[in-house]
């Protein structure tokens, strides 16, 4: 039976209080294997730097480990923060990944730094690197798709005649990631699939960005029609009360982040604290927007969201202090949506 909505996963290797940061990487690897068994379509990992909460710094390395331990699920970056790097090197890395898992690699790219300004400059001393992002995307697109008829780098460009090896019969699928109109417009101009970061904006601007993407889309050889998804934060548990109890960890993190306090995710029993009046408003807003509850409750809201945004796929990100609770959430949603 075909599921009524395709579900995928984004995991950010979140640090948890009481465990060393390296545990988060191994938990991501284990979750990828679990999600393949549960029937999820994609498993994406993120890139952040010098971030005490999110410790996944090298998605391409983690993807290689996931590729070696899975057989079916698509594996991707959400994303590579392209202004830090040379497009040729990124193309080479992902062509190697495609050789390890042919036809299963998604190369999601973003313009945001995934870090603070000082860390960004250490990764790439060019303070204006982000201004070249559209050109970088075009270069990456050419190198990644060259071996499957993409045309390669055009004559007159310094990279003409330079190739991103290894070549093969398949290529990574390039995705544009974004949380604003900029990414939507660029994805449309380049003829690329587009993923809106709903979990960053709590949905603000999603409808506008997706509409802009679809209406200004320029068909490309590999993607004749627009293809879009949204990455949403959701948490399901066996009961609604349990789900809200588990959600306290992320709630506390979001409120602390507004005050510049970052750290590992606290267990639910330690996450509650007295909030100021302003923080109470933040808490209320979080609870109003959060997709939290039983599998049926979360499933209903995910279906409504997909219908509202005209999507046939959603990417779900879930933070819990306990890895078993996170796995249980994905298990419940897989069952709710009939994944297999």
Structural domains in the chain plus CATH codes: 6-240+294-336 (3.20.20.30)
* Cα angle value 324/329/335 (rounded, 5°): 125
Chain position carrying tokens 């399901």: 236
State residue 30's pLDDT score. 98
State residue 148's pLDDT score. 86
**Backbone Cα Rg of the chain:** 20
Q: Is residue 330 within 8 Å of residue 34, measured between CB atoms?
A: yes
DSSP-derived pairing of the beta strands 105-110 and 74-81: parallel
Q: Is residue 184 within 8 Å of residue 210, measured between CB atoms?
A: yes
Which residues contact residue 67 at a Cβ distance below 8 angstroms, ignoring those fewer than 6 apart? 75, 97, 100, 101, 104, 105
State residue 213's pLDDT score. 98
State residue 258's pLDDT score. 86
Per-residue 3-state assignment (H helix, E strand, C coil) for 44-81: EECCCCCCCCECCCCHHHHHHHHHHHCCCCEEEEEEEE
Q: Mean pLDDT, 10 residues at a time, over the chain (340 residues)?
A: 82 97 98 98 97 96 98 97 96 98 98 90 92 96 89 87 94 96 97 97 94 97 96 98 97 91 94 91 92 98 97 97 98 96
CA atoms within 13 A on the CB side of 326: 28
Structure tokens at 303: 């279906």
Q: Is residue 31 within 8 Å of residue 330, measured between CB atoms?
A: yes
What is the pTM for the complete model shown? 0.96
Q: At how many degrees (to 10) do helices 323-336 and 295-309 cross?
A: 60
Structure tokens at 198: 């709903």
Question: Under the phi-then-psi rule, with left for phi > 0, alpha for psi from -120 to 50, and beta for the rest, what region is 114?
Answer: left
Q: Rounded distance, CA 227 to CA 76, Å?
A: 16
CA atoms within 13 A on the CB side of 79: 28
Q: Rounded distance, CA 70 to CA 37, Å?
A: 9
Three-state secondary structure call for residue 135: helix
Q: Rounded distance, CA 182 to CA 100, Å?
A: 33
Q: Is residue 84 within 8 Å of residue 117, measured between CB atoms?
A: no
10, burial (CB in 10 Å: exposed 0-12, middle 13-18, buried 19+): buried
């Amino acid at each position: 039976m075909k599921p009524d909505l395709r579900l995928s996963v984004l995991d950010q290797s979140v640090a948890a209080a009481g465990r060393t940061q390296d545990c988060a990487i191994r938990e991501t690897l284990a979750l990828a294997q679990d999600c393949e068994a549960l029937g999820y379509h994609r498993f994406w990992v993120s890139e952040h730097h010098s971030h005490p909460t999110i410790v996944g710094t090298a998605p391409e390395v983690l993807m290689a480990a996931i590729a070696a331990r899975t057989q079916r699920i698509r594996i991707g970056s959400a994303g590579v923060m392209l202004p830090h790097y040379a497009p040729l090197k990124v193309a080479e890395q992902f062509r190697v990944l495609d050789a390890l898992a042919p036809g299963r690699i998604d190369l999601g790219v973003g313009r945001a730094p995934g870090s603070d300004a000082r860390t960004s400059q250490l990764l790439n001393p060019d303070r204006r690197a982000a201004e070249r992002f559209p050109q970088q995307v075009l270069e990456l697109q050419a190198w990644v798709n060259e071996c499957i008829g993409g045309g390669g780098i055009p004559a007159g460009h310094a990279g003409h005649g330079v190739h991103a090896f290894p070549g093969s019969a398949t290529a990574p699928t390039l995705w544009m990631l974004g949380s604003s109109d900029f990414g939507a417009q660029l994805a449309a101009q380049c003829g690329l699939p587009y993923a809106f970061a709903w979990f960053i904006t709590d949905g603000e601007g999603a409808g506008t960005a997706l509409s802009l993407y679809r209406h200004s889309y320029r068909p490309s050889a590999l993607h004749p029609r627009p293809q879009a998804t949204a990455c949403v934060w959701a948490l399901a548990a066996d009961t609604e009360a349990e789900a809200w109890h588990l959600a306290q960890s992320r709630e506390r993190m979001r409120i602390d982040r507004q005050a510049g306090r970052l750290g590992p995710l606290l267990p639910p029993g330690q996450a509650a604290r007295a909030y100021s009046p302003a923080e109470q408003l933040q808490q209320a807003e979080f609870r109003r927007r959060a997709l939290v509850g039983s599998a049926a409750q979360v499933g209903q809201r995910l279906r409504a969201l997909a219908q509202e945004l005209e999507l046939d796929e959603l990417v779900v990100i879930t933070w819990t202090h306990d890895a078993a609770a996170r796995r249980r959430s994905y298990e419940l949603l897989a069952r709710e949506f009939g994944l297999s």
